[in-house]
Structure 1
Amino acid sequence: MNLFAQRDAREIRIDPDRPMGSAVGRIFGVVRYISLETTKESTLGRVDKLYVTDSLFIILDYATNNVFLFRKDGKFHAKINGGPKPEYGGIKFLNIDRQRKTIMFKDARNGIKMYDFDGNLLPDLKKDRNFEYFHTLRDSVTLYYSLNYDYRKDKKDSLDYELKFYRGDSLSGRAFSYRNYNKTIRNDDLITGSEGVFFETGNDSTVHFIRTYRYQVYTVSRDSVSDVYRFVFPRERSLPQDFLSNPAYYGNRAKYVLSTGAKAIFSILYFYKVKNLAFFRLQTVDKPRKQSYSFVYNLDTQMLYAVDHIAPDPSNFYLPIGTSNGFPTANFVTHGFLTTDGNAIYAAASSQEMFAAKDMAAEKNLTYSDDLREYFERNTIKSNPVIIQMIPK
């Protein structure tokens, strides 16, 4: 059963080279900094992936190939050791089942490991289906994504689907058909990364989904797929309209993106919606120093803000939300916004960046909140990163 339902997606027409600036306090009503406890067991390098549950922050750190679980007050709870990180690979994303309170990920051998929220290993899952990414919704519905143009297969191969829905072990739906074998597009035409294709909405009944080389944002539920937003960029920043259908690009799409079309936006990442704001990252190959990466778009006023143009102010004690001392933080250069719980958007900053921002604002004689005062008294530049929770106005 094909679950995709075409609808009139809302158009987001923007020029990423002409964003607005703002102050933190004009966009966010609340900005909180949650210090993550630093112990020998809990020390991490960077918050590469963040998942928020009712009681936990679940963090993936690429450098250590570990998963860290902290309580919402920042106290260390548990650690999942992903094992020695291979030269290529390691844990790239997590699948969080909030209903069953489990954490799943593909290991270096492509097997699925499953742990509970206390970090205990559970029996391995036996999955014989091939997929690149997966995401679990409520009521044991799991979405599996795979796009595999195996042009060496027999020409008689039939239709396949990018997105498949399983309820338990039973296939319950699918969406976005394609032919494995064709003379239009093949596997090495695709540029993919570790960011994934699923981005959380703040509830476990739906998830946002973004397809390769496309400017649409879809909402996927347990039994439907609908396109909800469609980005429109200036021509010079867009892929050709026939980029996916024209056989002339066969075997040359990656080369086009990496050279001729280096200014073209080829991927939308980290798309989250909170209240009337959309948060997202645009990916291009050409990255001049002054080019912005992450954006905030007001769906009511149609104003586009670049995160590196949002200036800290007294409302957040001149501390980072995505930039520190005028430069993007390490997390934002790589990731941008990390997730949403439906009420707030989340990011992270290193303690080094936090202390640097504090020093820069020393002459302002700020009176910090109790939590921040305790953080600066008990920590150093080598302490764990902080989680930044931002609630839009």
Structure 2
Amino acid sequence: MNRYLIVPVVILIYLYNVNIINAQESKVDTSNIKILRIDPKVANGGSVSQVFEDIQFIPLQTIKESLFGDITQLEVTEKEYVIFDNDTKTILIFDKQGKYKCKINLMKEIGGKLSVEDVDIYGFTLKNEKNIPLIEFSTKTKKFVFNFDAKKINEYKIASIESYAAQEFIFKDSTKVISYYRNLGSADKSLYQYVIKKGGEIAYKYFEIDTSKYSKNGDFAVGGKSLIETDNPEIFNAVRNYDYNIYKISTNGISVAYRLVFPNINTIPIDFNSNKKYLGKKLDYFFKFPKNIFGIGYTYKIGNNLYFKCGSLHPDIRKNGSFVYNLTNDYLISLNKLDVDSSSNYLPIIGRWDNDFKKYDGEFLYCSLSSIELFSYYEQEKVKKHKYPIAMQEYFNNGSKKDNPVIIRIKPRKDI
């Protein structure tokens, strides 16, 4: 071989191998999995006070300017509740008593009509720059930064051609975890569910997402956040579609913390995500086998307790799909079977099947109920003449089913 051709060939081989390495997913650590055997049918009931020690209801002020549909994302600061409503594409800010402060109308700020195809806004991120709290959201081409008075501070084009994050978090050591990440400027243009960056460079990437024509047929997902808070601020839980693992995310990567094992009648095939015979036919499969659980979500780990929700088309699980599992004594409680008592002022805390805990701030869990649900319950219970907290009694006296949702702040017991 001509010696002058050796170096270029070696370089090409090296670059090819680098691209192959860069295109590979990082390996998930499976060395320390705890198996949890879950049978929804035999979950225990109980009272609300058995699981939660303090419950507060916060009606959100309803005026013309503050009216919205549902809480898609909830973030909690020292003084405010910050809410994203995906239906109206609006970010609203309320104080801790539920009084409306201001809102950011994303459609107005971006200009033009929003659509999934050209904007894809699914939420926001809270930032803190020079001790000033800020709200940031992105489109495919721009980032927008607002203060807590809903005033635009900055708007700039995204410098790189990395796709924006659906959700991101920066750990204490500056490691960043990002959900739903793609970099069209790299050799690997795949979409990954999670990417971990160190020093601005990708250290790990996990779970390539199918973006082929079959994905356009839609997916069943339990819902909830990509990064789910735990009782350790440096650890998040995460889940995937059609997967019964609960993953742990830290600065060291992703590992499987828990694997839920359900009865056969509720379990999807083990090769459901890999077998080509299910491509483009997953929705049909669940309509044919509605008892099968298509995934889990809302997996908050608090003390010795693990909260989670099962997704299924079958009414038995849709009505009884939210659970808390004591990891010490393997005791399973259905949150849907809890009886209301004086700790909740005889009001419900768990609503329709697709609504669950939206936030954990290290002390409290937060969920919400629609005014339709609460007023329907109130009308049914009128004959019992329950005594409600002042804020809720005023809400029932002066409000209606068309009012904004009510936030419920719950302090969970560390053990049950």
What is the TM-score with the length of structure 2 in the denominator?
Answer: 0.76
- 2:196–2:253 contact (8 Å) kept in structure 1: no
Equivalent residue, structure 2, for 1:219:
248
- 1:292–1:306 contact (8 Å) kept in structure 2: yes
Q: CA RMSD, aligned part only?
A: 3.6
- Out of 236, 260, 263, the residue aligned to residue 265 of structure 2 is 236
- Out of 199, 204, 209, the residue aligned to residue 174 of structure 1 is 204
Equivalent residue, structure 2, for 1:120:
151
Q: Distance in 1 between matches of 2:180 and 2:87?
A: 26
Equivalent residue, structure 2, for 1:367:
387
Equivalent residue, structure 1, for 2:373:
353
Q: Distance in 1 between matches of 2:311 and 2:337?
A: 18
Count of aligned positions: 374
Q: Distance in 2 between matches of 1:158 and 1:366?
A: 58
Deviates more, 1:341-350 or 1:87-96: 87-96
Q: Which amino acid aligns with 1:115?
A: F
Cα–Cα, structure 1 residues 87 and 333, in superposed 2: closer, same or farther, change >3 Å? farther
Equivalent residue, structure 2, for 1:143:
177
Superposed counterparts of 1:241-390, under 5 Å: 241-249=270-278, 251-255=279-283, 257-287=285-315, 291-322=319-350, 329=351, 332-390=352-410
Deviation at residue 319 of structure 1 after TM alignment: 1.0
- 2:142–2:155 contact (8 Å) kept in structure 1: no
Q: Distance in 2 between matches of 1:202 and 1:103?
A: 24
Q: Which amino acid aligns with 1:113?
A: F
Q: Which amino acid aligns with 1:213?
A: Y
Equivalent residue, structure 1, for 2:163:
130
Equivalent residue, structure 1, for 2:134:
102
SS in 1 for 2:353: helix
- Out of 39, 45, 68, the residue aligned to residue 63 of structure 2 is 39
Cα–Cα, structure 1 residues 296 and 93, in superposed 2: closer, same or farther, change >3 Å? farther
Deviation at residue 391 of structure 1 after TM alignment: 1.3
SS in 2 for 1:361: helix
SS in 2 for 1:357: helix
Deviation at residue 36 of structure 1 after TM alignment: 1.4
Equivalent residue, structure 2, for 1:391:
411
Cα–Cα, structure 1 residues 373 and 188, in superposed 2: closer, same or farther, change >3 Å? closer
- 1:199–1:272 contact (8 Å) kept in structure 2: yes
Q: Distance in 1 between matches of 2:202 and 2:165?
A: 19
Whether 1:57 aligns to 2:81 is: yes
SS in 1 for 2:343: helix
Cα–Cα, structure 1 residues 314 and 159, in superposed 2: closer, same or farther, change >3 Å? closer
Q: Highest Rg: 1 or 2?
A: 2
Q: Distance in 1 between matches of 2:49 and 2:178?
A: 40
Instruction: For structure 2, list consecutive stretches of 5 or more residues without a partner in the other structure.
Output: 1-21
Deviation at residue 167 of structure 1 after TM alignment: 4.8
Q: Distance in 1 between matches of 2:92 and 2:202?
A: 33
Q: Which amino acid aligns with 1:336?
A: D
Deviation at residue 110 of structure 1 after TM alignment: 6.3
SS in 1 for 2:363: coil
- Out of 61, 71, 93, the residue aligned to residue 95 of structure 2 is 71
Q: Distance in 2 between matches of 1:85 and 1:21?
A: 47
SS in 2 for 1:243: coil
Deviation at residue 230 of structure 1 after TM alignment: 1.4
- 2:162–2:181 contact (8 Å) kept in structure 1: no
Cα–Cα, structure 1 residues 123 and 94, in superposed 2: closer, same or farther, change >3 Å? same
Deviation at residue 44 of structure 1 after TM alignment: 1.7
Whether 1:163 aligns to 2:194 is: yes
- 2:319–2:336 contact (8 Å) kept in structure 1: no
Deviation at residue 321 of structure 1 after TM alignment: 0.4
- 2:346–2:386 contact (8 Å) kept in structure 1: no
Whether 1:205 aligns to 2:253 is: no
Deviation at residue 388 of structure 1 after TM alignment: 0.6
Deviation at residue 174 of structure 1 after TM alignment: 0.8
What is the TM-score with the length of structure 1 in the denominator?
Answer: 0.80
- Larger relative helix fraction: 2
Q: Distance in 2 between matches of 1:279 and 1:362?
A: 32
Cα–Cα, structure 1 residues 263 and 114, in superposed 2: closer, same or farther, change >3 Å? farther
Q: Distance in 1 between matches of 2:303 and 2:227?
A: 19
